[in-house]
A and B are shown apart, each in its own frame.
Chain A
């Protein structure tokens, strides 16, 4: 991984994924490791994302590195009409690694081609968000003891949700089977079903949330995002359909855990929170360990 950019989850082989998860496990056991020294990491958030940004910055701090950057594009020279390429080339002069989030799709790939320092994609529009996928994998492995042959329920916006698409691609390397739970309008796109067909992996689709939950090892909940709908009426119609409640969890497997990339709005009722099967807050903490592992590996310290 040394000096390699991380743009998309499929940039990583199965072995590289496992190596990062192993490293993350080490950081979980020993979370303060002053290994980055005088390394400067640029954290460029061209669109606001408090959670991802703070998770990265927390990871950098725990590794003893320094952070420069911005949390919205309004204060940057882009607002003055500078090209994206010029911004990246300039900031690459000031830093050893660039972490970036951008609303325009493909920006991270482009940055990785022009930048002399490695790029970590912290989300490019609806396209890729590989560090989220890695922390999801870390959480799944930690709670299930394995990544192999699990039954994963993906719930909510499966049409536009990039986290579920990336998770599907990554888990397919470990022989997972899937259940897609979504309203008709937000079903898993055909290309992903074809992808699973080609690998001979099983999946089923259902509209009702409260069905077959006893077969799940992981229930991965996602938010139906208002900003994905051009018609606000369509959003109003589907937003309250998929709400997971504690009463639905009665017959679920003892090893089953509920994940969610957060922020949650109402799709997981707060009565689920005290249930030991609710894992979304520890999952967010795992994000820090995973990002420590990714940065330490790319910067060549691990």
Chain B
């Protein structure tokens, strides 16, 4: 048992993404494109968290993220924290920053919005960083977290 636990929890080099809301784990996986990654990936979900209730965690071996890549998960995991691991040690901690503008990633909730008809990238202004609410640059309707559909 001990051995199994070790192989899950420790990575030599890579990134640990912690404090993901449990219900959004698979959205994070999808946004970061981990489904098609060939790296060693382990994840745990429905872990107890004082802040989030239930949280999830992802560990990706031999993978380091660019700031832009990380901020892509802001809409689903605004409080996520990343630990960069080198040689079994945490060498850097990163937090997700909710950007002022979001392009792509999220679909506009308004069925009458041009972005749902024409080949063009969605664009939003973030009007609420805490609860993540997005105002469409085109139709000006607001997409809140509850209604977010990911592209």
Contact = CB atoms under 8 A, between A and B. Distances in A.
Interface residues of A, number: 17
Contacts of B137: 106, 109
Contacts of A85: 118, 120
Contact of A83 (B119, B141, B142): B119
Contacts of A41: none
B118 A127 contact: no
Interface in A156-184: none
A83 B115 CA distance: 12
Q: Helix, strand, loop or mixed for chain B's interface?
A: loop
A105 B112 contact: yes
A104 B140 contact: no
Nearest to B114: A106
A239 B1 CA distance: 71
B120 A104 contact: no
A125 B141 CA distance: 12
Contacts of A128: 140
A110 interface: yes
Interface residues of B, number: 16
A110 B141 contact: no
A86 to B, nearest CB: 10
B130 to A, nearest CB: 15
Contact of A105 (B114, B120, B142): B114
A191 interface: yes
Contacts, number: 46
Contacts of B113: 104-106
B138 A110 contact: yes
Contact of A127 (B115, B117, B139): B139
Contacts of A8: 140
A83 B118 contact: yes
Contacts of B85: none
Interface string A100-140: 00011111011000000000000011111000000000000
Nearest to A105: B139
B110 interface: yes
Nearest to A84: B118
Interface string B86-122: 0000000000000000000000001011110111100
B132 to A, nearest CB: 16
A127 B113 CA distance: 10
B136 interface: yes
Interface of A: 8, 83-85, 103-107, 109-110, 124-128, 191
